[in-house]
Structure formats: C-alpha cells, structure tokens
Amino acid sequence: MEIDTSLDGAIAIIRLTGRLTVSDKPGGLKQAATSAIAGGARVVLLDLSRVPYIDSTRLGELIAAHISVARQGGRLALVGTTARIAELLTLAGLEGIFETHASVDAARAALGA
C-alpha cells in the first residue's frame, strides 16, 4: 500500500494505492488521517479509486481513522470506492457509517469546497 497526502485548504486528500492488507505497515492510514487534521484540515477525503482490495484488518483501521478524525472535530469521507469495496462495506454493515462520493471532485462539490 502506498499513501500520498495533499492538503488543499481545509481539505486533505489521502490517495491510497494498492491492496490494503494485514501485511501493510500497521497504523499508517490512521496516522495519515490524524496528521491531516492536526495540520489544519477539517475534511479528510480517502481516495480509494486505486485500491482493489481491503482485508478485515485494514477495514478496522479505516473505522479507527474515521473515529479519530471525528473525535478531533473533522469529517472523513471515502471517494472512488470500487464496487468490491462498496460490497465489503455493506457486508460489514458499514455502508451508513461512511460518507461516500464517486470522486474527489464530486466530494468537493457536495462539501461546497
């Protein structure tokens, strides 16, 4: 998994690339999200458009990132979720937990940014 973060005003875009599995560095995703909030972002967009697979361990980290951002007064949304990831969120009962958008541009439009 690769993590690339960019900050655009109050919006942080965290682009993930590759499979998110137990073999990845633990805590990297959550750390990137909390660092973005600490750096001044109010909204964190997790771009999953280049992520073909998420295992249960990284799904847990996605939830932890969401909770951590919310506790710091921020908002986390998923963008570019593939059909497979959307199905995983549904199977896990998480489809109503995460705000999702088709793309970064769609998220910006929905957020008025």
Phi, psi at 32, each rounded to 5°: -60, -40
The answer to whether residue 9 scores a pLDDT higher than 70 is: yes
What's the rounded Cα separation, in Å, for the pair 18 and 50?
Answer: 6
The alpha-helical segments, DSSP class H, found in the chain are: 28-38, 56-71, 83-91, 104-111
What's the rounded Cα separation, in Å, for the pair 2 and 56?
Answer: 18
The arithmetic mean of pLDDT across residues 94-111, rounded, is: 90
The boundaries of the domain holding residue 71 are: 2-111
- State whether residue 79 is helix, strand or coil: strand
Radius of gyration of the chain (CA): 13
- pTM summary value: 0.92
Structure confidence at residue 23 as a pLDDT band (50, 70, 90): confident
| CATH number of 99's domain | 3.30.750.24
Report the number of distinct structural domains present in the chain. 1
